[in-house]
Chains A and B, each alone.
Chain A
Amino acid sequence: MRFFITLVITVLSSFCVRAQDVQARHSRYLDRAEVQHVANSVTVTANSPRPLAQSLTALSEEYSWVIDFEDPPYYSRYDLVDDTDPKWRAANPAAKGVTVVAGDTFQSQFVMNSDTGTSAADEERILSKIVSDYNESGNPGKFSVRKEGDGRFAVVGTQVKDENGQSQSVNSILDTPISVREETRDAYKTIEAILNAVSAETHINVFLGMTAQNALFQTQVTVGGESTPARVLLLRTLSAAKIKLYWRLYHDHDAQMYMLNVLPLRKANYDASGNRTTVLVR
């Protein structure tokens, strides 16, 4: 009997501690990263499961930069954290829980002259500084900046931690060479064809998540190729759209898949009281 009571207390204690952990982590998350300007110094502060992606979205909206982002395939307890809702866990004690990427607070500071933002070189310098700061921050994954041409950059995951906590190099799934028949389709169907080819080639599902659907359905493109990196075909497809689009490729270890989100570029505007709204960049 004493053993049983001890076991119950231990389980309940563990449950309460985990519940508090989840709640505390969630309470720290920001809805969006904050960008603060002091003279020519800019500070970006993020807190989310993917704080680097959150930072890049904020900078993208601040300066109308087109920045793609790609998760590496996180899988270890060093990069993921349990996110199972305690009530759901209590109701489903035998079910597998859910995780999220174990990101937390991230802050980076950089110098920005008044004319910065018109130069791709400046943008690359700033993105490199941010990614370098992130790689030193202890948050999950390591990333690198890639030039994609036409003023566009991608921040791509290059390392994850293995189950021993050791760094492991990884390739982006969008670098996978694929073959897609060249034909004229709308951009939405073209992206689906590209992702289906990636899934078939890698045996990892890659799906379309949130999209700028009206922009994609209204864009007719003729895209295809043999043994061409998926990223190249994606870039060709998006370049035909009438509005500026960028992607967010997120990995989900629980569902064993990637989700590609193709989103419209937005620009942040502030009124005299500092209230922030965003508008589509056309």
Chain B
Amino acid sequence: MRKHITALMMLLLGGTGIAHAQCITYSLGYDVYSSESFDNIQVGAGGPVPGYGSVAISGNEQSAQICTHHLAGGDCETYRTAYDSGTVSITVNGVYVSTSYGEGSTASTIASALVTAINSTPGTLVVASANGSAVLLTAKATGVGTNYTLSSTSSTSQPATFGGPSFSSSPSGSVLVGGSATSDLVHTITSVLVDGSASMTLDQSAPGCTEPEYGNLVAELPYATHTPLAYNVVNGVGGWGSGSSECVTCYLSVQTTEDSGPVNYGVSIPFTSGGEVDCSVGGIIWDPIVIGNIPVCVIPTTEYTAVQGTEATTETQFVQTIFDTAGDNFNGRTVTESDAAPGQDTCWFQGSTVDKYTGMTGGSWIVDSGQTAGQPNAWGYDVVGWSTAAITYYRQQAAAHNTTIPCSLTGYQALTISCPAGNAAIYTSATGNTLMATINQTSVVNRRNDITSTASQTITY
């Protein structure tokens, strides 16, 4: 997303009395608008997920005036106030839990009581929490089987007086939803908007600053300062947020003369000049579907690989540099390898003293740290290759064991990157990066096919 800021800066300044600049110093934030899809952003934990649902409690406690003594003509002489009483219940997977209501009850107190009842009843398969007058339910286990049946009822104990219960309950559906063996809570953020900020500081002692200009500026000051609001859309649903939990954190990339850093709710970030802004999103966002905070993880979309050097004579050190379209900073995050598919080894034969290659070798790297310290967004070394002894062994032994040279090991490397919320997200394709080490008669070739580029090294040995 790109937006020229200068025009917005002027709009903000338009109502701030900029003509009286001799009395003020000012700082300005920016407006950032985006309507493009952030396909490099994953939302959700990524692992097996539990089913979830909710029951909304609504209504108000009813009361009625009941005559306690009638006059001879039938008029009422004295009254008492009667309050409705009854029960509200929730049933999850056949486990029934209820609470009573009566004088003084509100939808929120009933929701809170139901939460307590659910969490203290043996055999319940869900954990409950309250969000105002809503009871939020999350299965204790994970998987498709946790989309339990859900129902709710309410009833009054005084139907003759009140006709019906004071409070009604509405389940989110007949079953919990979202339970899955793997996370289907991966949303795509389709729109992000962070409103701008501007602030003035008045200086009455500045040369040329006199009344009534100064007084006018004091009057304008409240209108000249405002703080960011955030708008986010997740899976096509969303809206303006007014609380800090609904505010995205927008990281701005540095493109020559622009600003950078997180844009947080209520925080004004000054800038030094206008220009283009790329924006991506991180931190916690409010998900109106799940009704709760969910972590957002910015992941790389491109990764370049390059040969750094040689290790143990015949193995190659590769360094990788990761990027996304917004130019985010991934320094300090951990990249970890695992297998996208089982490894292959065409050199191995039954009885070989070199064990068969079966997959990744346990690498975990911190970006811009260790062997790549001082290289922003770089991680490594990822080492690929055969040991010298293995190469010699196969050259001498393989043919007589009916195995031909050249032969190779091939690994399919899946990479995850750690997320601020503590989880990790895979950023390589389903087939992974292809790592290959080939033994020829007089050389070895170590190759790394990455997301964006391929690098290889031929070593004469």
Contact = CB atoms under 8 A, between A and B. Distances in A.
Contact of B311 (A84, A217, A250, A279): A217
A209 B397 CA distance: 14
A75 B320 CA distance: 47
B68 interface: no
Nearest to B364: A242
Contacts of A255: 353, 393, 396-397
A48 interface: yes
B354 interface: yes
A83 interface: yes
Interface in A223-282: 241-243, 245, 248, 250-252, 254-255, 257-259, 261, 263-264, 266, 277-280, 282
B368 to A, nearest CB: 15
Contact of B354 (A49, A97, A210): A210
Contact of A26 (B350, B356, B383): B350
Main secondary structure of the interface of B (DSSP, over half): mixed
Given A98-B401, A218-B370, A250 B350 contact: no
A213 B351 contact: no
B393 A83 contact: no
Contacts of B339: 277-280
A50 interface: yes
Contact of B387 (A49, A207, A214, A251): A207
Nearest to A209: B354
B52 interface: no
Nearest to A245: B362
Nearest to A259: B353
Contacts of B365: 218
B431 to A, nearest CB: 15
B255 interface: no
B400 interface: yes
Interface string A86-114: 01110010010110110000000000000
B317 to A, nearest CB: 8
A188 interface: yes
B312 interface: yes
B363 interface: yes
B402 A259 contact: no
A172 interface: no
Given A88-B402, A248-B355, A252-B353, A209 B338 contact: no
Interface string A151-171: 000000000000000000000
A128 interface: no
B289 interface: no
Chain B, interface size category, equals 35 or more
Contacts of A277: 339, 342
Interface in B275-314: 311-312
Interface in A48-74: 48-50
Given A84-B400, A218-B370, A266-B358, A210 B390 contact: yes
B261 to A, nearest CB: 32
Nearest to A271: B181
B363 A215 contact: yes
Nearest to A23: B402
Contacts of A217: 311, 381, 383
B360 interface: yes
A94 to B, nearest CB: 13
B354 A264 contact: no
A42 interface: no
A85 B401 CA distance: 5
A213 B353 contact: no
A209 B353 contact: yes
B383 A29 contact: no
A83 B353 contact: no
Contact of A100 (B351, B364, B383, B388): B351
Nearest to A29: B350
Interface in B189-215: none
Interface in B388-414: 388-390, 393, 396-397, 399-402
B361 interface: yes
A85 B402 contact: yes
Contacts of B450: none
Contacts of B393: 207, 209, 252, 255, 259
A278 B340 CA distance: 11
A84 B398 CA distance: 10
B382 to A, nearest CB: 7
Contact of B350 (A48, A85, A279): A48
Given A50-B351, A85-B401, A248-B355, A213 B337 contact: no
B315 interface: yes
B359 interface: yes
Contact of A251 (B315, B353, B360, B381): B353
A232 B337 CA distance: 29
B357 interface: yes
A87 B402 contact: yes
Contact of B338 (A245, A250, A280): A280
